[in-house]
Amino acid sequence: MDKGVLYRIAGPVVVAKGIKPRMYDVCRVGNENLMGEVIQIEGEKTIIQVYEDTSGIKPGEPVVNTGQPLSVELGPGMLSSIYDGIQRPLPVLIKQMGDFIKRGVDAPGLDHTKKWDFKAIVKNGEKVSPGQIIGEVEENPGIIHKILVPPDQQGKITEIKSGKFTVNDAIGKLDNGFELRLKQNWPVRIPRPVSSKLKPELPLITGQRIFDALFPLAKGGVAAIPGPFGAGKTVSQQQLAKWSDAQIIVYVGCGERGNEMTEVLSEFPELTDPRSGKPLMNRTVLIANTSNMPVAAREASIYTGITIAEYYRDMGYSVALMADSTSRWAEAMREISSRLEEMPGEEGYPAYLSTRLAQFYERAGRVIPLGTKQEGSVSVIGAVSPPGGDFSEPVTQSTLRVTKVFWALDAKLAQRRHFPSINWLTSYSLYLNTLDPWFAKNIAPDWHDFVEQMMTILQEEEKLLEIVQLVGSDALPEKQQITLLVARLIREVLLQQNAFHEIDTFCEPKKTYQMMKSILHFSKLANAALDGGMRLQQIITTKAKDRLSEVKFVKDYEKLLGELTSQMEKELKI
């Protein structure tokens, strides 16, 4: 190991002399062995970002270069775990030191003592390729953890055995002498290789009507949720983590407030997965990196999360990664960049901000992993917290360049208690056309037509509301008054959803379709009744339309919709 001494300290950025590292090597800094990563090399000087608090360390203290990049341990035992930004398990740290993490403490990402029941699915003498599945472990009830050949290894199996092993035990050997284990280590900044990338043609069903109907996200796609403080970013992210049809969830709380992370940590273990009926935590990895933790670890937490997500993708799972919030990650980059005295870009962020964001989001995708024909996917949903809700600031703008779905949260809607407070006029999804064939085949052939009609009515409403503010709604032609009525139904019945109601919290696409169909059916009947001579007041006071919102809160929605449709037809019969 390479040894040197501390030369200069500036917050989380320190300068060492006397070591000859490579970029991104992990170093141990000072007498307390603080963990850091090389981020710049200038002649004899090595600049290191430290993942822990550096107060009290002095020039002259030792620095040791480990020669290894920042890596995570990948293997059985990650699901249900709660890590910090550099994959130290928080429950283990609590036992060691209580509620606050002390400095220089290390703990492996996986439990090295627990024995797992491994079943080999390859035989002696068989040739294996990089990424091939060689066996299985039941990690949690109903979730099979597939043991893979590391992406940089291949050859003939000379030895393989089933049985109970810890993650460090050798379970087999290749003819080149490489020992196969249940775990593998992977550098977090390097994307895991894949065989090929596929088109984003399958939707990630979220159970949230506004997302599934108007602004769908594809599996392997990338979405941004920017919004000001209090607009509901974290609740939206948590809803997506709870209900989206991804098989594995990785939730990165990057620089969030401690009480928000506490809510996630206390709520997730109590939730039941709607598909399996088992605890939701069984298929979730949580990375908790709160705003009072050192900034450098915040910068690493995003990479730790995406590497874990890629590992499960390589087994053939569809994974959803929630990054809450990438603004805090960008702020950590800005702080470290200023300590390095780099030339600042817009609003003090480093000039490479958009490159780093793009590198992170590009790791999403629907792919065929190495060594298998099964497809896997990583969908990334990144929250952005623009100061003062200003979407023109650099992090939001750089994110929008690389994401194809934009779910814009609106503080005014949140103040009016319209949740999820997604602004339907500024949000968009560029996956609409690629996902149409799936919705047409699996839900209904006229799904796309309904969505387009909804969007047209909502855009029409926006224009009419400007006139209403000047002259009042009574001055509008009767046809346009009906448009306003239908738009209100779309907003209140379809787009509003109660995250805390046991039935309304999740809405399957078939139910969303039936609700759209009923609202548009009312629109058709109302316009036909008006043309047939019915008075506007009579149409506005129909009782069936007012009961449409009841549909959200009942399980047997088809029966209720059938009753309301026939009631509507009676009331609006000319």
Q: What is the mean pLDDT of the chain?
A: 92
- Give rounded-to-5 percent helix, strand, coil for the chain: 35, 25, 35
Quote the percentage of the chain above a pLDDT of 90: 74
At residue 403, the pLDDT reads: 95
Q: Are residues 244 and 355 in the same domain?
A: yes
Model confidence at 487, in pLDDT bands (50, 70, 90)? Answer: very high
CB 149 within 8 Å of CB 172: no
Q: Which residues neighbour 10 within 8 Å (Cβ) at sequence distance 6 or greater?
A: 339
Model confidence at 290, in pLDDT bands (50, 70, 90)? Answer: confident
**Residue 436 counted as domain residue:** no
H or E stretch covering 17: strand 13-17
Q: What is the mean pLDDT of residues 476-481?
A: 93
At residue 531, the pLDDT reads: 93
For the CA atoms of 322, 327, 328, 330, what is the dihedral angle to 10 degrees?
A: 110
**Residue 93 counted as domain residue:** no
CATH label of the domain that carries residue 318: 3.40.50.300
Tell the burial category of 533 from Cβ atoms under 10 Å away from its Cβ (0-12, 13-18, 19+): exposed
Q: Are residues 416 and 451 in the same domain?
A: no
Q: Which residues neighbour 454 within 8 Å (Cβ) at sequence distance 6 or greater?
A: 213, 214, 490, 494, 516, 519, 520
What per-residue string of b and e applies to 252-267 under the rule 16 or more CB within 10 Å gives b? Answer: bbbbbeeebbebbbee
Pairing of β 405-406 and β 71-74? unpaired
CB 309 within 8 Å of CB 250: yes
* Residue type (1 letter), 327: S
- pLDDT at residue 561 greater than cutoff 80: yes
Other residues' Cβ atoms within 10 Å of the Cβ of residue 109: 24
Q: What is the mean pLDDT of residues 280-307?
A: 85
At residue 471, the pLDDT reads: 87
Domain residues for the domain of 61 are 2-69
Pairing of β 82-83 and β 284-290? parallel
Q: What does residue 405 show for φ and ψ, rounded to 5 degrees?
A: -125, 130
For the CA atoms of 561, 566, 568, 573, what is the dihedral angle to 10 degrees?
A: 160
Model confidence at 457, in pLDDT bands (50, 70, 90)? Answer: very high
Quote the percentage of the chain above a pLDDT of 70: 100
Q: What is the mean pLDDT of residues 332-336?
A: 89
CB 561 within 8 Å of CB 514: yes
Tell the burial category of 373 from Cβ atoms under 10 Å away from its Cβ (0-12, 13-18, 19+): exposed
Give residue-wise pLDDT tens across range 47-94: 999 988 888 999 999 999 999 999 999 999 999 999 988 898 988 888
**Helix spans in 194-325 (H):** 209, 233-243, 258-267, 295-314
Q: What is the mean pLDDT of residues 300-315?
A: 95
**Residue 385 counted as domain residue:** yes
Domain C-terminal end among 139, 157, 182:
182
Joined tokens for residue 570: 């009676």
- pLDDT at residue 27 greater than cutoff 70: yes
What per-residue string of b and e applies to 543-554 under the rule 16 or more CB within 10 Å gives b? Answer: ebbeebeebbee
Q: How far is CA 170 from CA 32, 116, 127, 167, in A?
A: 33, 13, 18, 8
CB 408 within 8 Å of CB 227: yes
CB 1 within 8 Å of CB 64: yes
Q: Are residues 250 and 393 in the same domain?
A: yes
CB 324 within 8 Å of CB 298: no
Q: Are residues 451 and 355 in the same domain?
A: no
Q: Are residues 384 and 455 in the same domain?
A: no
CB 304 within 8 Å of CB 85: yes
Highest mean pLDDT among 208-212, 323-327, 533-537: 208-212
What's the per-residue H, E or C state across 474-501? HHCCHHHHHHHHHHHHHHHHHHCCCCCC
> What is the pTM assigned to this prediction?
0.93
Q: Are residues 405 and 491 in the same domain?
A: no
Give residue-wise pLDDT tens across range 172-209: 999 999 999 999 999 999 999 999 999 999 999 999 99
Q: Are residues 285 and 338 in the same domain?
A: yes
Give residue-wise pLDDT tens across range 104-118: 788 899 999 999 999
Q: Are residues 155 and 29 in the same domain?
A: no
At residue 299, the pLDDT reads: 80
- pLDDT at residue 256 greater than cutoff 80: no
Pairing of β 143-148 and β 376-384? unpaired
Q: Are residues 155 and 19 in the same domain?
A: no
Q: Are residues 209 and 355 in the same domain?
A: yes
**Residue 98 counted as domain residue:** no
**Total of domains in the chain:** 4
Q: Are residues 160 and 269 in the same domain?
A: no
CATH label of the domain that carries residue 125: 2.40.50.100
Q: Are residues 272 and 330 in the same domain?
A: yes
Model confidence at 1, in pLDDT bands (50, 70, 90)? Answer: low
3-state DSSP assignment of residue 420: coil
Q: What does residue 556 show for φ and ψ, rounded to 5 degrees?
A: -85, 65
Joined tokens for residue 254: 């990057």
**Residue 86 counted as domain residue:** no
Tell the burial category of 22 from Cβ atoms under 10 Å away from its Cβ (0-12, 13-18, 19+): exposed
13 vs 265, higher pLDDT? 13
Domain C-terminal end among 182, 214, 234:
182
Q: What is the mean pLDDT of residues 10-23?
A: 93
Q: What is the mean pLDDT of residues 310-337?
A: 92
**Residue 336 counted as domain residue:** yes
**Residue 495 counted as domain residue:** yes
Q: 236, 260, 251, 223: which is closest to 323 by C-alpha? A: 251
CATH label of the domain that carries residue 486: 1.10.1140.10
3-state DSSP assignment of residue 95: helix
Question: Bridge-partner residues for 35, per DSSP?
Answer: 28
At residue 310, the pLDDT reads: 97
- pLDDT at residue 371 greater than cutoff 80: yes
**Residue 552 counted as domain residue:** yes
H or E stretch covering 16: strand 13-17
Question: Cα–Cα distance between 120 and 315 in angstroms, integer?
Answer: 15
